[in-house]
Amino acid sequence: MECFRIVGPNRIQGEVTAGGAKNAALPALAASLLSDGPLELSGLPAVRDIRTMRHLLGHLGVESEERAGVVRLQATDLARPDDAPYELVKTMRASILVLGPLVARLGHARVSLPGGCAIGVRPIDQHLAGLEALGAEVQLEHGYVTARARRLAGGAFRFTVPTVTGTENLMMAACLAKGTSVLDNCAREPEIRDLATLLNKMGARIQGAGEERIEIEGVDRLPSASHRVIPDRIEAGTYLLAAAMTAGEIFVRGAIAADLAPLLEKLAESGCDLEASEAGLRLRRTGELKPQDILTAPHPGFPTDLQAQYMALMTQATGLSTIGETVFENRFQHAPELGRMGADIHIHGTFAKVHGPTPLSGARVMATDLRASACLVLAGIAAVGETIVGRIYHLDRGYEGMELKLQRLGAMVERLPAEPT
Ligand code: UD1
């Protein structure tokens, strides 16, 4: 199994470009199922989740080719199969994003239930209840969701929790429903706005994406479109945190300040200098890091996908910080690994108390999920000596060439084909 070998401490200095947002690219790819015309997408990050989604779409009959950074998808003939098998869904929960488009376009779909994952239970009840509100008949059988509807009908649905992929699934399904749909308590992440922009370019009539209420007037057909996905705010935030943690200086080209507001606020309060421009974000830290509490929440709250990396930062702040996780129930698995590197972290239910600053020392650690892996890489860069981060296949799901980007920023990080014995 591949791993990262990091020799620290290093100071992060220089410029990096944020890649396209994985979480915007995944629903954008799934949107190709809605159209019989070509969909051209650019800015897709070269990460494993994107390859998995393209593989799944290929299985469903979508033809795709890539030329000069543009992926052209054509879903003309989707006759059979209509199923997303367990083997693919289990490696990537976002596979559920094909459910809404498939049932809207074909009138039937069969998608494996994703099951649990390392960071929590993550049910899909809201996706299913939402499709039922649009007239689909939904059944759970043999580990699969089957959804059927001759044609979906516009309807009203209120999410009991604001789910990101749930909102995206329903928004896509409602585009081809007969009549108008009104979705309430929707998730408001920037990636949802980006998907609506793409769908509207395809001919959909969506209003309010990025707000709590989204209205969708169904259309009969969605012709072709071209779209570039937004930059990845989580990747950008990870590099900003790496610079903040190592008293460095970084310019993240492409980072959008408005999409990162909750993180930037905390970084400024903890003593970092920040400068936002059209081109990107600059961060510099020269003084001491002040501890700042965070509580993760759906957008525009502090993103759960940056919680682990922020915890790594707080190990270097002078004093006590409290980190609360409200989105997922089991998302502190990086804390004991940070502890093995010298961090002083105590978990009380969904809160973590971090006492800093603690010198970190290199150790063998193991990644348990995508963002936890990034947290351990950051800790390894700040730590004295050699750190081996195992199971970096998690990292490769969502970070494009992370070791190469970090090397250019001054970190001694290399990918090894196997963990040293
Ligand atoms: C998306 C992101 C993921 C991020 C998460 C929260 C993608 C591909 N992934 O995941 O990186 O960590 O948002 O920002 O965009 N829930 C239910 N019932 C449902 C659906 C969700 O109870 O039907 C709960 C979940 O268990 C969780 C909360 O709602 O507690 C938010 O989850 P959700 O927004 O759905 O996460 P994802 O869309 O899977």
Residues 144-156 as b/e (b if ≥16 CB within 10 A, e otherwise) read bbbbbbeebbbbe
Q: Which atom of ligand 1 is nearest to the CA of 27?
A: 8
Please determine, for residue 30, whether its predicted confidence score (pLDDT) is greater than 90.
yes
Assigned CATH for 22-228: 3.65.10.10
Question: Which residue among 91, 111, 165, 395 has the greatest number of ligand 1 atoms within 8 angstroms of its CB, and so is best to mutate?
Answer: 165
Residue 115: partners with Cβ closer than 8 Å, 6 or more residues away? 90
Domain range summary for the chain, segments of one domain joined by +: 3-19+231-416, 22-228
Residue-level length of the chain: 421
**Confidence at residue 80, expressed as pLDDT on a 0 to 100 scale:** 64
Write out the CATH class of domain 3-19+231-416: alpha beta
**Confidence at residue 367, expressed as pLDDT on a 0 to 100 scale:** 85
Closest residue by CA, ligand 1 atom 4 = 305
Q: How far is the CA of 159 from the centre of ligand 1 (A)?
A: 12
pTM for the structure as a whole: 0.97
Q: Is it true that 3-19+231-416 and 22-228 share their CATH fold?
A: yes
What percent of the chain clears pLDDT 70, i.e. is strictly above it? 98
CB 333 within 8 A of CB 345: no
Query: What band does 248 get if pLDDT is binned at 50, 70 and 90?
Result: very high
- Please write the tens of the pLDDT for every residue from 207-222: 999 999 999 999 999 9
CB 168 within 8 A of CB 194: no
- Please write the tens of the pLDDT for every residue from 252-288: 999 999 999 999 999 999 999 999 999 999 999 999 9
Please determine, for residue 79, whether its predicted confidence score (pLDDT) is greater than 80.
no
Under the phi-then-psi rule, with left for phi > 0, alpha for psi from -120 to 50, and beta for the rest, what region is 37?
beta
Question: Which residue among 140, 164, 193 has the greatest number of ligand 1 atoms within 8 angstroms of its CB, and so is best to mutate?
Answer: 164
Question: Which residue among 98, 122, 124, 168 has the greatest number of ligand 1 atoms within 8 angstroms of its CB, and so is best to mutate?
Answer: 122
Separation in Å, CA 372 to CA 121, 139, 259, 287, 366: 17, 35, 21, 27, 9
Q: How far is the CA of 167 from the centre of ligand 1 (A)?
A: 10
Q: Which of 3, 117, 175, 375 is catalytic?
A: 117
CB-ligand 1 contact for 166 (6 Å cutoff): yes
- Please write the tens of the pLDDT for every residue from 292-302: 999 999 999 99
CB-ligand 1 contact for 169 (6 Å cutoff): no
Q: How far is the CA of 327 from the centre of ligand 1 (A)?
A: 8
- Please write the tens of the pLDDT for every residue from 81-104: 678 888 888 889 899 999 999 999
Instruction: Fill in the amino acid letter for 305.
Output: D
- DSSP per-residue string spanning 284-311: E--SPPPP--EEB-STTSB-GGGHHHHH
Q: Please say if 375 is a catalytic residue.
A: no
CB-ligand 1 contact for 164 (6 Å cutoff): yes
